[in-house]
Chain A
Amino acid sequence: MWKWINSFAKPEKAYWLCSILLPWFAIVAVVSLVVGIIWGLGFAPSDYQQGDSFRIIYIHVPSAILAMGAYVAMAIGALVGVVWQWRTAFMFMVAIAPVGAVMTFISLFTGSFWGKPMWGTWWIWDARLTSQLILLFLYLGVISLYAAFEDKQQAGKAAGVMAMVGVINIPIIHFSVEWWNTLHQGASITKIGKPSIAEPMLWPLLICILGFAAFIGWVTLIRMKNEIILRDMHRPWVAKMFGVIRPEKVRRGDKILGDSDKPRGGR
């Protein structure tokens, strides 16, 4: 079992897994996003207080939840990479980071548009808004640290440390900011016992969350495949897959360039 899991540390195996999973994520994402959004925007009952403007919840809440979920996934990837020295785990981390950052941005943007009619202002220094904004900064920190290194193997490790520091900090930031100022409404779905949102509104929301999660997985897999190919460009298995066999490589046998991570020559 352990050996089987460890085999995914190999780029070619991880690439194969990505290709297998990709269509499933794509199907789930498309189906549930179409169903959830149409149901939520068209058929769910409107709110007695907020009217139809509450419907942005079907985009705002999934993106906000999954922005944090993607960060945790990224940090788990970093942990696996640091502890078990998986190169592919760092590739996953790099693949999901910009996706999560965009989700964070979407949640801030839609939240701002929801805040204008409801609270009468685009932005307020409220606890959740602030911690979401800080989450965006943490994402940008990881991305820019990764971009700052020439050697991508080193970059992965460094950005991994930063991602883990961030994930330890997120609860602290969340708690401190909450304690500092609170205006945002409480959590609607995760309240223990009965959710405080009506059932006809809840179902499309859950479907939308599923759709967003599958969408993130989809985009991440595409990005990860790309990253694997980019980093392993000079390895024989990539050349074989694309049917490109350079004459000098054939002459020196299949083993060449097989044991180095550093990109040779220009990208």
Chain B
Amino acid sequence: MVGSALIAIFKKDISLAYRQLAELMQPLMFFILVITLFPLAVGPSPDTLQRIGGGIIWVAAILSLLLGMERMFRDDYADGTLEQYILSPTPLYLIVVVKVLAHWLMHIVPLFLISPLLALFLNLTMDMYVALMLTLLLGTPLISFVGAIGVALTVGLQKGGVLLALLLIPIFIPLLIFATSAIESASMLLPYHQQLATIASLLLISVALSPMAVAYSLRVSQN
């Protein structure tokens, strides 16, 4: 009963996202454009780009995910579905997990598909590229789960966009530090298991705790 409800929500979210492909592509375009700006700003020298490339991709990924995040609960809030979720016998905690996972899948797959191109743009080595992919794989769900708290808090506000960035960017700083340091270690052919393990542990903590906070925040927003 609970399982089928959750599967239905998952399917609904995925198919809704596919039918609004244009909206899905906007954060991705933004991601590519931000990265294109950097070689123009700091100069096209391959060495410089290689040194700062990992950091640039991560900053651009965080910003573009922040852009796309706003629509996680927005439509459900606008058409009253959220109220039904809160009233339904299915635990809101689980609904939140499913919704965040669906959102993450829809936003991260395009990012993954495009990233080989960007690695070429920024002259990353193969090792750096592998480290980038691994940190993105572990780090982006963390962004989605923690970010969902901010989205749930601001969903009822008309001008939530800038506020969302103000709330969430400070919280993503540890992730950024560990991810870029993993890429840097990879560029020097050093092991980077420690950084990956730290990101993974942060991810596990956030998966366990953040849906509770999101569920509470959604109830507050719905008032």
Contact = CB atoms under 8 A, between A and B. Distances in A.
Prevailing SS type, chain A contact patch: helix
A177 B170 contact: no
B171 A166 contact: yes
Given A176-B178, A180-B177, A161 B149 contact: yes
Contacts of B223: 151, 154
B160 to A, nearest CB: 8
B177 A158 contact: no
A72 interface: no
Contacts of B173: 134, 173, 176-177
Contacts of B209: 168
A148 B149 contact: no
Interface string A158-186: 10011011101100110111011000000
A141 interface: yes
Interface in A190-222: none
B213 interface: yes
Nearest to A156: B220
Interface string B100-111: 000000000000
Contact of B213 (A145, A161, A172, A176): A161
B138 to A, nearest CB: 15
Given A82-B216, A161-B216, A140 B202 contact: no
A137 interface: yes
Given A165-B213, A172-B202, A180-B177, A138 B149 contact: no
A145 B171 CA distance: 15
A162 B178 contact: no
Given A144-B166, A145-B163, A177-B177, A165 B171 contact: yes
B174 A161 contact: no
Nearest to A133: B170
A231 interface: no
A162 B177 contact: no
A157 interface: yes
Contacts of B150: 162
A144 to B, nearest CB: 6
A33 B103 CA distance: 53
Given A82-B216, A158-B217, A161-B220, A176 B174 contact: yes
Contact of B167 (A157, A162, A164, A175): A162
Nearest to A172: B174
A149 interface: yes
B167 A141 contact: yes
Given A134-B170, A165-B171, 6 more contacts: A137-B170, A148-B154, A158-B221, A161-B149, A161-B217, A173-B170
Interface of B: 146, 149-150, 153-154, 156-157, 159-160, 163, 166-167, 169-171, 173-174, 177-178, 181, 198, 202, 209, 213, 216-217, 220-221, 223
26 contacts: A137-B166, A137-B169, A141-B170, A144-B166, A145-B153, A148-B154, A148-B159, A154-B220, A154-B221, A154-B223, A158-B153, A158-B221, A161-B213, A162-B150, A162-B167, A164-B213, A166-B171, A168-B209, A169-B170, A169-B171, A173-B170, A173-B174, A176-B178, A177-B173, A177-B177, A180-B177
Closest 7 CB pairs of A and B: A176-B174, A137-B170, A157-B220, A141-B167, A176-B177, A158-B153, A172-B174
